[in-house]
Amino acid sequence: MFHIEKKQNFQNKEGYFIIGVFQEGEKFGEWFSKLDDSFQNHLRELVKSGDISGKKKAVSVIHTFGWIGAKRLLFVGLGQRKKMTKEDLVESFGAAFQTVKKNRGDSLAIDLQSFITARVDPLTVAKLAAESFILSTYTFKGYKQKENKPDVEIEKFTVYYDGNEEEIKKALVTGYIYGRATNSARTLVNTPSNLLTADHLAKYAKMLADRYGFECEILEKEDMEKLGMGALLAVNQGSENPPKLIVLKYQGRKEWKNVIGLVGKGITFDTGGYSLKPRDGLVNMKTDMGGAAAVLGAMEIIGERKPEQNVVAVIPSTDNMISGKAFKPDDVITSMSGKTIEVLNTDAEGRLVLADGITYAKQHGADVLVDVATLTGGVIVALGSDKTGAITNDEALLEKIIDASKETGEMIWQLPLTEKDREKVRNSKIADLNNSPSREGHAIMGGAFIGEFAEDTPWVHLDIAGTSIVKSGYELGPAGATGVMVRTLATFVEEFSENNE
């Protein structure tokens, strides 16, 4: 799909030729002047009149009437040159690519040079161009009998840049891999729960394992019973679908030491159980496996890029349903760790399945733990739907994850976890822990509870309840699943390996 060309002689044929423009005060460079020559200097008039705008994300399309090879020029505004961040660049790319998609273009080219600034180097621009192309043009196919429009795919993506071709190519492929894995996670999350059960999730993981040579282990209900995974089993009790504990191991080092454990909440549908959700709260609960999808997406990137790191991915998966067999408030259950839990709320099920997932990851050598979960509505109230909430017992580990998130533009914000918070989840007259002390600070309570199972192992909890889906389309994708944390987790793993020789 990607082509790299050194020179743009303006004769090459493509549907859309995309050029970045900065706002105000920029002299027309030599290159622009050359292009403008082909247009009898009308382009600079359009810039002056504002028809070609440098405002952030502004898209101006001009038909070339055959004056150059490309059918259309697409100018995308980047704001002020000095201020342009990677996030700005990505959003502008997204706006440009979505315009091409909407207009049903089938090929495009970008002039890389026009996007480069002192802050954002050519390889970063190339990576982000490919990544935001894959992300911004994503669609979930859905199940309509008839699609109104036949699909037009953008099949050719040309990059004009007079630099090191190999390096640019590598950067493009990296962006492509990151984008594609994020889209894989999006598709898992967008798939309804009648079509995506724990079993489907397990088969998907197995498929990844076959493709990338991961070790794959799927624990069945009987295995869980033997291991005493009473917390995961309790959540599954009301279900017609058997639970699965999905384990993928990627060994990127000689020895199975220094292992990162990624644990993803894989609730394929969350009714709340007997602590039933209100009817509006049920809609979209097919997305309650967003943590699992993030982990699987990250594993896809890891499989492609093979960093020198050991990773164990653990996904406890089931739906949370009601029946005569379902677990109930007041039940006391025994987790795999041996800790007993008084269930005060069956809707606080994520922390229960994660408890056993974390214990399992630790037993399989995880030296650091990151759990990802659509855990609480509380995190949305606290941070809105653009920030992932984080809780940790190890500030240095969280810092590494936040560093990774700054690379990917997926915002993470830390919530506190105090000794008093810990005491609240330890407060039960009849068990070691309770799963839902109160609604006060309940995003923190969720973290506090999971932390009891991480114990002394460095651990970060990421609550993606707010960030895993969006209500309406945005520059990097349509309404629905965002694939949040796929890129941050993968970046974290890659950087962890670099800093851990």
Binding-site residue numbers are: 265, 270, 288, 347, 349
Give the count of beta carbons closer than 10 Å to the beta carbon of residue 385.
Answer: 16
How many angstroms separate the CA atoms of 455 and 51, rounded? 60
Instruction: Cite the DSSP H helix spans in 384-469.
Output: 395-408, 419-425, 442-454
Residue located via tokens 């996007």: 115
Report how many residues bind ligand BES under the rule CB under 6 A: 16
Q: Is 288 in the site for ligand BES (CB under 6 A)?
A: yes
Which amino acid, one-letter code, is at 150?
P
Which lies closer to ligand BES via its Cβ, residue 101 or residue 351? 351
Residue placing its CB nearer to ligand BES in the complex, 401 or 465:
465
Closer residue to ligand BES, CB minimum distance, 350 or 447: 350
442 contributes a contact to ligand BES by CB under 6 A: yes
Task: Given the residues 351, 362, 387, 400, select the one marked as catalytic.
Answer: 351
Among the residue ranges 32-40, 86-94, 344-352, 419-427, the one whose residues contact ligand BES (CB under 6 A) = 344-352
Residue 242 has a CB neighbour count (10 Å cut-off) of 16
- Any idea which residue has 């020895």 for tokens? 255
Q: Using CB under 6 A, which residues numbered 241 to 280 contact ligand BES?
A: 270, 272
Listed in sequence order, the residues at least 6 apart from 392 whose beta carbon sits closer than 8 Å to its beta carbon are 398, 414, 417, 458, 459, 460, 461
Q: Which of 238, 273, 378, 483 binds ligand BES (CB under 6 A)?
A: 378
Q: Which span (193-201, 308-316, 327-335, 369-377) binds ligand BES, by CB under 6 A? A: 369-377
**Least distance from C-beta 492 to ligand BES, angstroms?**
23
Q: Which of ligand BES, Zn ion, none is residue 436 near (CB under 5 to 8 Å by kind)?
A: ligand BES
By the rule CB under 6 A, 349 interacts with ligand BES: yes
Q: How far apart are the first and last CA of the chain?
A: 36
Closest CA to 247 of 186, 290, 292: 292
Q: Give yes or no for a contact between 214 and 198, defined as CB atoms under 8 angstroms apart.
A: no
List of residues 6+ apart from 258 with CB closer than 8 A: 309, 310, 367, 500
C-alpha distances (whole Å) from 229 to each of 332, 352, 361 are 13, 10, 13
* DSSP β-ladder status, 244-251 and 310-320: antiparallel
366's enclosing H/E stretch is strand 366-373
Active site residue 362: no
**377 sits near ligand BES (criterion: CB under 6 A):** yes
Give least dist CB 288 to ligand BES, A: 5
Shortest-Cβ-distance residue relative to ligand BES: 377
Q: Which residues contribute to the site for Zn ion (CB under 5 A)? A: 267, 270, 288, 347, 349-350
Residue of the chain from 309, 376, 467, 497 that contacts ligand BES (CB under 6 A): 376
Task: Count the neighbouring beta carbons within 10 Å of the beta carbon of residue 461.
Answer: 31
Q: Using an 8 Å Cβ cutoff, are 437 and 425 in contact?
A: yes
Would you list which residues are annotated within the binding site for Mn(2+)? 265, 270, 288, 347, 349
Residue 14 partner contact from Zn ion, ligand BES, none using kind-dependent CB cut-offs of 5 to 8 Å = none
Contact between 350 and ligand BES by CB under 6 A: the answer reads yes
Q: Which stretch binds ligand BES (CB under 6 A): 72-80, 93-101, 110-118, 340-348?
A: 340-348
Asked whether position 343 contacts ligand BES by CB under 6 A, the answer is no
User: Interface with ligand BES includes 374 (CB under 6 A)?
Assistant: yes
Annotated active-site residue 351? The verdict is yes
Binding site for ligand BES (CB under 6 A): 270, 272, 288, 345, 347-350, 374-378, 436, 442, 465
Would you name the residues annotated as active-site residues?
277, 351
